[in-house]
Structure 1
Amino acid sequence: MPCAIGRGGIGLKRGEGDGITPLGSFQIVGCGYRPDRIRLDAPNVHCQPIALTDVWSDDPIDPDYNHCADIRTHQFGHERLRRADPLYDIFVVLNYNFPEAVAGKGSAIFLHKWRNPRHPTEGCVAFREGDLVRILTNWTLKSRVVIR
C-alpha cells in the first residue's frame, strides 16, 4: 500500500521530535476515530470515538507521556486528537513506546490518514483513508505492522 513516512525517514528513533518513523514490527493496540466523519467496524481492534477534549501527551516530563489525556485537566505539552483537518479522523495506536512509555523516546507514533501522497509526517505512517480502514477491518491478533 502506498504510504507516507516521517520527514526523518525510517530508522532508530533518537528522541521526541526527530521526525523518524521507527523501524520494527508492531502490534495495533487501539484506535480512535471521528464518528461524525467516519463509520468504522474493526472487529479485532479496540476503537473508540475521539472526544472533543481528547489530547495525546508529547511532553516527556508528563506522567501521562505518550498516552491520551483530557485537555480539561492536562497541563503539559500535547497534540489535539479532534482536529479541523482530517489527519486524525482515524488514528491507530501502535505498541511503539506504549503502553510503558520511556520519556523522550517518542510519542504519538500512529497510523493515520495522509495529507496527500508522499507528504512526510512527524514520524507516523500515513495512508489513504480506504487503506487505513482495510488494515483495521482485516486485522487479526497475529497481524503486525512491519516498518522497514
Structure 2
Amino acid sequence: MKLALQRPFYKYQRGETIAVRRSPSNPLQGIVRIGPHVFRAALGRGGLTRRKREGDGATPIGRMPVLAGFRRGGMQDRDNAGLRLLRVGTRDGWCDAPGHPSYNRPVRLPFRASHETLLRDDVLYDFGFVLDWNLRSRRRGLGSAIFLHVAKPGYPPTEGCIALSRRDMRVAMPLLRRGTILRVC
C-alpha cells in the first residue's frame, strides 16, 4: 500500500517572507526559516554579497521572489509542491554567458554558449525553484541561475544558490508559491 505524504500543519500566508541568514558558525552555510520550520542550508562558495557578479560564487543579499519550479523528469515521487513543477529533461539548460542574448534564461540543449544543464547526474536539481535574481530586470554580468535546490550531503558550498537537504526540501515545497519571497540577509 502506498502512503500519501501529509501536508504540513502550517499554512503559508500570502505575502509571507522566508528568511535566509548566514550561519554564525559557518559563513558558507545558512539558516532558513519558513513559518515554524528552521532548516540548515548551503550557501555560495563566495559567501553572501550585495555586489553579485557572474562567476563569483556568492549568494546575493536581497529579496528574491519564487518565479517557477522544476523537477527531474522521470521521477515517480510525488512532490506536493505549492506550485506546478516543470519536468526537466536532457534538452533543458540555463544560459550563464553574459554576452549572449539568452543570458540568465532557460535554453534548449545543445546550446553553443556557456550554460548549465538542468538534468544532472547528482541530486542537486531533483527539485529546484527559480528565484528572481537578475531575471525580470536582467543586466548582463550580475549573476545567473540563482535557485533554491537540493544540497549535497554535508552542505558543501554552492555556486551562489541556496540549497536544502532533500528531506527539508520536501517539507518546504508545499509552502512555496509563485511570489513567495526569499529574503537573504
What's the TM-score, normalizing by structure 1? 0.90
The answer to which structure, 1 or 2, has the higher relative contact order (CA under 8 A, 6+ apart) is 1
Task: Give the deviation of 1:100 after TM superposition.
Answer: 3.1
Amino acid at match of 2:122: D
CA separation in 2, counterparts of 1:125 and 1:112?
6
CA separation in 2, counterparts of 1:120 and 1:102?
25
1:111 aligns with 2:148: yes
Give the conservation status (yes or no) of the 8 Å contact 1:56–1:78: yes
Give per-residue Cα distances to partners, 1:58-81, cap 9 Å, x unaligned. Answer: 000111111110013x22110100
How many residues are aligned here? 146
Greater strand fraction, Structure 1 or Structure 2: 2
Give per-residue Cα distances to partners, 1:39-66, cap 9 Å, x unaligned. Answer: 32323x2420002100110000111111
**3-state SS of paired residue (2:94):** strand
| Percent of aligned pairs sharing the same letter | 33
**Aligned match of 1:17 in 44, 52, 55?**
55
**Alignment match, 1:36:** 74
**Alignment match, 1:51:** 89
Unpaired segments ≥5 residues, structure 2: 1-38
Unpaired segments ≥5 residues, structure 1: none
Task: Give the deviation of 1:135 after TM superposition.
Answer: 2.3
Higher radius of gyration, 1 or 2: 2
Give the conservation status (yes or no) of the 8 Å contact 2:92–2:107: yes
What's the TM-score, normalizing by structure 2? 0.73
Give per-residue Cα distances to partners, 1:98-121, cap 9 Å, x unaligned. Answer: 133211100011111111233111
**Aligned match of 2:124 in 87, 103, 111?**
87
In the TM superposition, 1:56-135 aligns within 5 A as 56-72=94-110, 74-135=111-172
Judged with a 3 Å threshold, the aligned counterparts in structure 2 of structure 1 residues 87 and 35 are, in CA distance, closer, same or farther, namely: same
**3-state SS of paired residue (1:2):** strand
CA separation in 1, counterparts of 2:184 and 2:120?
26
CA RMSD of aligned residues (A): 1.6
